[in-house]
Structure 1
Amino acid sequence: MRIVVATCQVDYAGRLTAHLPMATRVLMIKSDGSVLVHSDGGSYKPLNWMSPPCTLREGVTTDPADESREMVEWTVSAAKSDDTLRILIEEILHDSSHDLGIDPGLQKDGVEKHLQELLAEHPATLADGLSLVRREFPTAIGPVDLMCRDEDGLSVAVEIKRRGEIDGVEQLTRYLELLNRDPALTRKGAVRGIFAAQEIKPQARVLATDRGIACATVDYDALRGMDDAEARLF
């Protein structure tokens, strides 16, 4: 991972446009190719980013405010769209690279881990005809919770959360981008995704739908066999 602290301006162009005026920010370039722009606030979420696969080109351009001065310019281009992230750097305050090694992955809490176990035993509750291929299917950026196969023989990657938020959709998107490069998984067609959670936030559902990812709300008690049909009003 490369970490750069710099005074910079950031412009995003693609399905929408966004502008971050000149300020000091943290730029993160991960080994999977993703580029993230962070401020000193806003919790864990980046101000802007480009997900892999993408290409980062570093060059020099003229300062728009002073044509006699040059500035460092980063251009991040998406591989599968016309989206671009343009970063103009006025001053670099820190620039370092670190090899983080292989991440062991997120250790799931009790409920989330149990959800994965239950859905592995009953994958058809997520979609008719779905069958389990493997739990914790490995990828270069971490394991997919469940790798399944639908009734047409197509591969389906399932990401499971207790609470479904935008970060989970982004995580599944990155997995799908990698999985769809594997000819062994895409012989019959593209790998599709299912985002499963006990509760899915509206923003996460909108983003998932936009990316062609199905959403499944999971009833934990029903899966555990605790859902008493006689106690229901309807």
Structure 2
Amino acid sequence: MRLVIARCEVEYAGRLSAHLPEAVRLIMVKADGSVLVHSDGGSYKPLNWMSPPCSLAESQPDGDAGGAVAEWTVTSTKTDDRLVVRIFEVLHDTEHDLGVDPGLVKDGVEAHLQELLADQVETFGAGWRLIRREYPTPIGPVDLLCRDHDGAAVAVEIKRRGEIDGVEQLTRYLELLNRDPHLSPVRGVFAAQEIKPQARTLAVDRGIICVTVDYDALRGVDDPTTRLF
């Protein structure tokens, strides 16, 4: 990645035209070819940019450039879009090899919750046991199919945030599972880190039990019994 802090002005021509008047900005040139122009505000979003595939050509400006010391022309190889950066003063110019990025690993997603609850199925009650994760149905897999302490079948749908759509999804699973004479009757549990009031109301109306789960407690990094509140 190349990082350039410079006093510059920027012209963009393509589906629309845009102009950034002269000011000090950060210009990022990434290994994938993208070029992004940032100010010292506006959060993560650049003021202007060119997405790959594109090409970058650096040249000396002509006499009409108003004192510019360099001119970058970034041209899209798929469209006619063009980004022209006129640089009047370079304050910093450096390059860094960042290597291969492993990508964002999200913590607390539904797959993690499902794995933890499958290993700690007694979270739902003493004597519970797991029949299978991702139990198949004609419309998709149920997250967990369990037996409670009485041996009755229970379908568990797990969400990070429990909303009405999740309750509707579990309702459809229960309708199908209860057609199986080897499982019926099957009741439902809707488990989530947070359950919206409307979803809880709908679940209770349909005889579905709602369970709020603590992700950190399941991971063993927090003990709810030691809390004051």
Of 185, 190, 203, which residue of structure 1 is paired with 2:183?
185
Cα distance per residue 1:108-133 (max 9 Å; x no partner): 98621010000000111022321100
Instruction: Name the CA distance, whole Å, in 2 between partners of 1:229 and 1:199.
Output: 16
Aligned Cα RMSD in Å?
1.8
TM-score by length of 2: 0.52
Instruction: Name the CA distance, whole Å, in 2 between partners of 1:218 and 1:200.
Output: 10
Q: Which amino acid counterpart does residue 218 of structure 1 have in structure 2?
A: V
Q: Any conservation in 1 of the 2:125–2:149 contact (CA below 8 Å)? A: no
Instruction: Name the CA distance, whole Å, in 2 between partners of 1:169 and 1:218.
Output: 16
Q: 2:161 maps to which residue?
A: 163
Instruction: Name the CA distance, whole Å, in 2 between partners of 1:145 and 1:134.
Output: 8
Cα distance per residue 1:3-27 (max 9 Å; x no partner): xxxxxxxxxxxxxxxxxxxxxxxxx
Of 126, 141, 144, which residue of structure 2 is paired with 1:143?
141
Q: 2:46 maps to which residue?
A: none
Q: 1:83 maps to which residue?
A: none
CA displacement at 1:134 relative to structure 2:
0.2
Q: 2:208 maps to which residue?
A: 213
CA displacement at 1:184 relative to structure 2:
1.1
Q: Which amino acid counterpart does residue 219 of structure 2 have in structure 1?
A: R
Q: Which amino acid counterpart does residue 131 of structure 1 have in structure 2?
A: R
- The alignment-based identity, stated in percent, is 77
Distance 1:172 1:222, change over 3 A: same
After TM superposition, what 4+ stretches of structure 1 lie above 3 angstroms from structure 2? 228-231
What residue ranges of structure 2 are gaps of 5+ in the alignment? 1-105
Q: Any conservation in 1 of the 2:177–2:183 contact (CA below 8 Å)? A: yes
Distance 1:185 1:109, change over 3 A: farther
Distance 1:135 1:109, change over 3 A: farther
Instruction: Name the CA distance, whole Å, in 2 between partners of 1:145 and 1:168.
Output: 12
Cα distance per residue 1:168-207 (max 9 Å; x no partner): 0000000000000001112xxx100000000000000000
Instruction: Name the CA distance, whole Å, in 2 between partners of 1:114 and 1:137.
Output: 17
Q: Does 1:132 align with 2:130?
A: yes
TM-score by length of 1: 0.50
Instruction: Name the CA distance, whole Å, in 2 between partners of 1:129 and 1:195.
Output: 19
What residue ranges of structure 1 are gaps of 5+ in the alignment? 1-107
Of 185, 191, 199, which residue of structure 2 is paired with 1:196?
191
Q: Which amino acid counterpart does residue 135 of structure 1 have in structure 2?
A: R
Number of residue pairs the alignment of both structures matches: 124
